[in-house]
Structure 1
Amino acid sequence: MSRRNKDLEAEVLTWIFGCIGEPVPAGDFEDILRNGVVLCNLMNKLAPGSVKKIQPKGTNFQLMENIQRFQAAAKAYGLPQEEIFQTADLFEKRNIAQVALSLFALGRITQKHPEWNGPQLGPKMAEKNERNFTEEQLRAHEGELNLQMGYNKGASQSGHGGFGNTRHM
C-alpha cells in the first residue's frame, strides 16, 4: 500500500467542496467519499449533466456504481485512464493514496477547460514547450558513435558464455 499524504487529502477535500459550494464535512477522507455521491456531485459541477443517476443510499453494489459513474464522467472530462483510481481503491479502502492522486489530477485537468471558473487545484499546467534549434545544433552530433551503434568504449562480453551463465574468472 502506498503512503498516504494527509495534507494532499485535505487539499483535495477543500477543492471538492469548494467546487460543490458546501462546507467540508468532518470525517476521514475515504469515509466522506466512499459512497461516490460527493464525487458524482463534483463531476456534475465540473461538467453539468455528466452523471445522470446518483444513488444516495442502497446496497454496496449500487454505491459502487456511483463510483463507476464518476470514473466514466472523469474520463470523458479528460482525465487519462491511467490516472483514474480503481473502484476497490476507494470502496474497499485498498489504496486511498491513489484516490487522492486521481482527484488531484482531475483538479489539474480543470485548467484545460476554459468554461470552468471555479476553484483550481495544483500548479498551473504548461501550455507550450516550444524549442527552436539551429541547423548547426541539430547536426552537431552526427559524427559521434553512440551506444546504440555497437560502440561501448571497449567493453565486451567475451568470456561470458551466454544467457544465464555466470562469468568465470
Structure 2
Amino acid sequence: MAYRATKSGLAAEAQGKIKGKYDQGEAQRALTFISQKIGESFNTAGDMDNFQSQLKDGVKLCKLVNAIKPGSVSAKKYEKSPTLPFKQMELIGLAIDQMKALGVPDHEMFATVDLHEAQNLHQCVIGISALARKIGAYGPKEAEANKRDFTEEQLKAGQNIIGLQMGTNKGANQSGMNIGNTRHIVD
C-alpha cells in the first residue's frame, strides 16, 4: 500500500480529473488481453482496485513482454512474486522498458508510480492497449509510413502556387476601404 498524503486543493482536483478518465471496459479488455497472452486465468474485472492489484507486483507485465518477445526479462527476476515495494517497482520498470523496445511510443506509456501507487491507472490502460495494438491483438491497425520523394523540379514548381491557406486574390477583398474617413450613408 502506498503511503501518500491525501491530496487537497488543485492537486485533488487534478487527481479527480485523472480518475474520471478511467474506463472500466478498456481496463477489463487490457486485463483479458494479458490473461490470454500469458496463458493464466485471473480476475479480469475492470474496476480500479482489481486492475492495480493484478498488475502491481509487475510479474504479469514481465510475463506479458516475455510472451511477446521471449527472453525480454529474465524469468529468475519474477519466478517468486516480490513482496518488497522497490522490487515490485523494479519489475514494473523492466516491463515498461521492454514495452518501449517493442514499439510503444513514450506518449502512450505509463510511469512505474502510475501503476504501483495508482496515481494514473488510465495511462496504464492506454499503455497496455498500445502494446496490444502494436502486436495486432486488438484496436485500430497501426498506420504505415507513406514516404514521398519529389524531384527538385517538382519542388520548384510548387513554389509558384499560392496555397488556399495563404488566401486568395478572388472573391471579397478590402478594396474601397476608407480608413479614417466617415461613413457616407445615402438614403
TM-score of the superposed pair, with normalisation by structure 1: 0.70
- 2:103·2:134 contact (CA, 8 Å) conserved in 1? yes
1:13 aligns with 2:31: yes
1:29 aligns with 2:51: yes
Residue 128 of structure 1, CA deviation: 4.9
Q: 1:71 to 1:143 in 2, by over 3 A?
A: closer
**Secondary structure of 2:135 counterpart:** helix
1:51 aligns with 2:73: yes
Q: 2:37 & 2:91 partners in 1: Cα distance? A: 18
Alignment of 1:118-129 (within 5 A): 120-129=137-146
Residue 99 of structure 1, CA deviation: 0.3
Alignment of 1:52-131 (within 5 A): 52=74, 53-54=77-78, 56-111=81-136, 120-129=137-146
Residue 139 of structure 1, CA deviation: 4.0
Q: 1:48 & 1:73 partners in 2: Cα distance? A: 11
Residue 78 of structure 1, CA deviation: 1.5
Residue 140 of structure 1, CA deviation: 9.4
Partner deviation per Cα, 1:7-46 (whole Å, 9 max, x = no partner): 1001111111111112232661111111111000001000
Percent sequence identity over aligned pairs: 33
Match of 1:39 among 51, 61, 85: 61
Q: 1:146 to 1:33 in 2, by over 3 A?
A: same
Q: 1:122 to 1:30 in 2, by over 3 A?
A: same
TM-score of the superposed pair, with normalisation by structure 2: 0.64
AA partner of residue 22 (structure 1): E
Q: How many residue pairs end up in the alignment?
A: 138
Q: 1:72 & 1:26 partners in 2: Cα distance? A: 24
Query: Unaligned stretches of 5+ in structure 1?
Result: 112-119, 148-152, 155-169
Residue 131 of structure 1, CA deviation: 7.8
